[in-house]
Structure 1
Amino acid sequence: MIINLDLVDIWREIYPETRRYTWRRKTPSQQSRLDFFLISDLLSTLVTDVGIEAGYRTDHSMITLTLTLGKESRSRLLWKFNNSLLKDNLFVKEINEVIKNVTEEYAAFPYAREQIPHIPKCNMQFVISDQLFLDVLLMKIRTKTISYATMKKRQTEEKEKNLENSIQRLETKTFLTEDENRILEHDKQELIAIREKRMQGVLLRSRARWIAEGEKITKYFCGLEKRNYVSKQMLKLTLSNGEELYETHDIIKEVKRFYERLYSDRNLGNCEILDMVENIPTLTLQEKLLLEGEITLDEASLALKNMKNNKSPGSDGFTVEFFKFFWLQLGAFVVKSLNNSFRKGELSSTQKEGVIICIPKGDKAKDLIKNWRPISLLNVVYKIGSTCIA
């Protein structure tokens, strides 16, 4: 149970070598530590004291556990594209319509509207820059996706509630007709389908190895999903002077200070760069011209194809799976935007943006800032460009 639920015997964690007992018998002489707290490993950093105290009117001692809980303030969460929408034909149709409408809206004036669908996307000219066009297009797609997902969620919740009411009404009847029995069975199957679909999302987000092993969907998986989120939170920090921080704003302030100091300018002493690179081979002019310049649609397509799925997206929320699915419609616009950045000498604001988060280093103590490492979540369009250059 300890292994499956990720629990720890917190008294033994704090006192690994100490021998204490919570129960005694005089005849025959026996003693054992029968009583102890099992807590989630994630809570272990919040434990400030655990003890065994003398009991009375019983042969068991009293065990105590003290936790210090800070006031957690949830930060603003970033939007993330729901890949399951790619299986929804109506959603796909609506996104294709958005791409078509935005393309027509920003196409250069000489184009006749009826000719636009027949113009190769790589040759399309817009009244705004290629950089800005891609940003506007993705913004419109995001707006449509959010409204569509909200509508679908509302419809699903309403359908689920109606099915529950129908099942409840039929099951309270003493006798059911043949038609009512058929309706009852149908409604139950519909309700099961809705809940299994929701549970598949929970399983996917939990990244549980038990999916492949056939573990049944239980309340544990719902907790596991939450646990994966909580495991990336710093609930407590212990400073070098022994001071302990529990409040969210104090922890954020200390993390910011730690990394500002870690990545600040340092005096590395005198060294000549030319002395360090004098033996490094250089490119010929032909090699240089071959490696530099604008990227092609084939290069960008190959870069995207080799990217792994199920990775966290950047600040714009669009996943690798989204771009792979709509690449025929969006690929040329992505390439035009990146090549516009090359000619301009600067990426667009969204392409330059990254989200830095801290993740814990394995099973090391999570209350020490040195046991966390920062990673950057970058947008897929930027990764396509950087992969082509690499």
Structure 2
Amino acid sequence: MMSTLVGILLSYLLATLVSLVLLYVWQHRRYYYLGFQLPGMSLLRNLRFLYTFCVIFGSMEMLPKKLVKFVEEERLMHPSMTKFWYGWKLMVIIFNPDLIQKTLHTHLQKDTSVYGMFEPFINGPGLLHDNVMARWKAHRKIITQASFTLSALKTHLKIFHDEANILADKLGLEADKGRTIEPEHVVELASLSMVVRSLTGLDLKIQQTCVSKHPFGGAVTDNFEVFVRRMVKQPWLLNAALFSLSEDKKRETNASRKARAVAEAIIARVKAKVLEENAKREETTRKEGKASQHDLNLHGNSTEERLERNSSHSKSNSEYVPERIENILENSRDCNNFTLENFTDTAPLYNFVEVIIRDQLNPNIPQQDVLTFDELVSEIITMLFTGMDTTKTANVIVLIMLALHPTIQQEVRFLLM
């Protein structure tokens, strides 16, 4: 009797599941019809691909090799574009540059099911995945004009040179000992320091005070591993309810808190600098007895004037003293306690964080035109996250390629000498 009831229940559940699947497919029939018209792998190859990535995933280090092999094979069979089905989701990979350009010009919406997975870590919608175009364009304009004009980029070269010298001295000490090293961790510290100094004007002494990991770098690593696990190794965690019950949810939350703590510390330091400058300006104005509207503005100049100053300013940053590198390595810590102590302001030019904070303090600017505190936190995390990751990846690849090609390495060394 019991076995009969269990059989009936299982049959009912199976029929319900099949009905729901058929209903879903019918509601999205145009999506699936057009998807199957695109060039791409066959259904059998698609199943083999999913089995390779999801069942016999292997280590995280193997993922790039598998992806490169997959892309190379697909490019030979489908030169312009290819597609594969990741469960019920259609994934399209475009190889043709002209087709990529046309697609980006006509379709700016980002898939929230993928990019939205970064929102908890970024602490809100940032430039990475914001689909509100008016807000995205406004934020992008502020950040671009403040930190990515040609004049601003020229001032970053000194920062890159300083940090590269510190990194070279670190690697040089290891090379003198004849050791084989994994460069990712030290390059990550250098990359993060470059990005922070360039975008915020603060020198956090990251390379000098961190041995292996900075809190922000560790948070990025944890978040990315959770993302890859959900997307590739354990796709059932794409379900929000199941993910909320997993250990990865706690790991994501912890990474988000660390990233936000770093962003808030940066905002606090930059805001303190702005308030100090305003107080000095007020005191100077009182002493000189001037009462022009420009001098009495305790909240800084207009955005246009600040951006003008940013474009024209090229004062160099503080010099790095290479003689202290051995002491730095011996006395360095793991950066687990993130504080504002010993931070220095290395870039007097205005950056996007300072521009936004000055706008927040200026009562003459409508609040709807100013980023809120949470939006600023989100954009700082976005810029540090994306900037550090791309810079680290590029630098690590360069080091590996130089190590694999000693002849070219010697030519580069000759040019530098």
Indicate whether the TM-score tops 0.5.
Answer: no
**Higher share of residues assigned strand:** 1
Look at both structures and tell me which one has the larger radius of gyration over its CA atoms. Answer: 1
**Higher share of residues assigned helix:** 2
Considering Cα pairs closer than 8 Å and 6+ residues apart, tell me whether 1 or 2 has the greater RCO: 2
Please report the TM-score for the alignment, with normalisation by the length of structure 2.
0.18
